[in-house]
Amino acid sequence: MLEIDNLSIKVENFYIVRNVSLSVRKGEILGIIGESGSGKSITALSILKLIPESLKISGTVKVNGRDIYELEEREFNKNIRWKTVSIIFQDPAASLNPLLTIGEQIKEAIIFHEEKKENLKDTIINLLSEVEIKEPETVYKSYPHHLSGGMKQRAMIAMALSCNPDFIIADEPTTALDKQTEHKIIKLLKNLSKNKNTGVIFISHDIEVIETIADTITVMYAGFVMESGETGEVIKKPYHPYTKGLIECIPKVEGKGKRKLPVIPGNVTDIKSRPSGCPFHPRCSKRKEVCQRELPPLKQIEKRTVRCFFPEYEAV
């Protein structure tokens, strides 16, 4: 299991992420949803120690029971990063080295972690086939600029799978893709998670994508977890006003006549100007005086957790 417990990340005296707890099992897909600035990516990047050293971290991040921040850097690089937990970045064009072929780039990760280095080319071509690249030998010899956006992303997924990790972080991997390619990448990740028993943390600002791919969902806002639970249940009946707002903003194609698209007023506040109390209260239509004074604790309601004084569950 990959577990984050009470994680906080701050710069100077300002919190970027505060008291975040979440977990994902092997073979399970956890979706993390929220607007830009909610703390999704930096939470995930902390798992691989890919955040600046100037940031202060507290809490624990455990991978298969081992606290990664108690490991020496050499041991972490050899046994955790890429071998046990790998990552698919959201912009493959920026993440792939333009001077190396796809085959050479995948080869680097395997050579670093694996003692057995025979038949590497065949291993890599098989990996490219696994991610449904139709001409893997051609892609093996290709440079990134020879490939389409979807092909680059498939190559990144192959690289993430190269050392057979237990967990993969997918940081908005479909953001720059068209809808048809996005659908194919989502289907591919779901199949790989199931067939290889790989845990996936899938980060997105698109709740429709999360609904399609994730078994469980964590909703983040301004560095806090606001709601979490089984994806179908959360989408069907959100307890937190922010979750409800995200769902209502999804355009609907069915029905007759015109419909004004709902929006959540305002924006996620900057870390240096976050309000006291509930971080969402300036944008919340259901706010009351207590919301402006106190930070609501995370409540456990059946199989759901929610950070709200007045969740929809209690209003029914």
263 and 150 in a common domain? no
User: Token pair of 19, please?
Assistant: 């008291």
* Structural domains of the chain, count: 2
150 and 271 in a common domain? no
Residue 95's pLDDT is 87
* Boundary residue ending a domain (140, 164, 188): 164
Residue 314's pLDDT is 59
Residue 255's pLDDT is 60
Find the mean pLDDT for residues 75-81: 91
* Sign of the four-CA dihedral 24, 26, 29, 35: positive
Amino acid at 116: K
Residue 277's pLDDT is 94
Task: Tell me the pLDDT band of 315, cut-offs 50, 70 and 90.
Answer: very low
Q: Percent of the chain, pLDDT > 70?
A: 96
Q: Worst-scoring range by mean pLDDT, 9-13, 89-93, 151-155?
A: 89-93
19 and 66 in a common domain? yes
Backbone φ, ψ for residue 288 (5° rounding): -130, 180
* Boundary residue ending a domain (115, 149, 164): 164
Backbone φ, ψ for residue 186 (5° rounding): -65, -45
Convert the pLDDT of each residue in 38-59 to its tens digit.
Answer: 999 999 999 999 999 899 999 9
Q: Percent of the chain, pLDDT > 90?
A: 70
* Domain membership of residue 55 as a residue range: 2-84+165-315
- CATH code: domain of residue 265: 3.40.50.300
Residue 316's pLDDT is 39
142 and 264 in a common domain? no
For the chain, the residue count is 316
215 and 302 in a common domain? yes
Convert the pLDDT of each residue in 152-189 to its tens digit.
Answer: 999 999 999 998 999 999 999 887 788 888 898 899 99
**CB 225, CB 219: distance < 8 Å:** yes
* Boundary residue ending a domain (139, 164, 189): 164
Whether residue 249 is predicted with pLDDT greater than 90 in this model: the reply is: no
169 and 139 in a common domain? no
187 and 159 in a common domain? no
**Better pLDDT: 113 or 73:** 73
9 and 117 in a common domain? no
Q: What is the rounded distance in angstroms from the CA atom of residue 171 to the CA atom of residue 42?
A: 10
Residue 115's pLDDT is 60
246 and 100 in a common domain? no
**CB 285, CB 245: distance < 8 Å:** no
Q: What is the rounded distance in angstroms from the CA atom of residue 155 to the CA atom of residue 88?
A: 10
173 and 62 in a common domain? yes
Task: Tell me the pLDDT band of 252, cut-offs 50, 70 and 90.
Answer: confident
Amino acid at 252: K
304 and 276 in a common domain? yes
* Sheet with strand 66-67: strands edge to edge: 14-24, 2-11, 56-63, 66-67
Whether residue 253 is predicted with pLDDT greater than 80 in this model: the reply is: no
Convert the pLDDT of each residue in 180-228 to its tens digit.
Answer: 888 988 999 999 999 999 999 999 988 999 999 999 999 999 999 999 9
Helix (H, G, I), strand (E, B) or coil at 66: strand
Find the mean pLDDT for residues 91-95: 85
173 and 72 in a common domain? yes
Q: What is the rounded distance in angstroms from the CA atom of residue 199 to the CA atom of residue 203?
A: 13
Angle between the N-to-C axes of helices 120-130 and 149-161, in degrees from 0 to 180, rounded to the nearest 10: 120
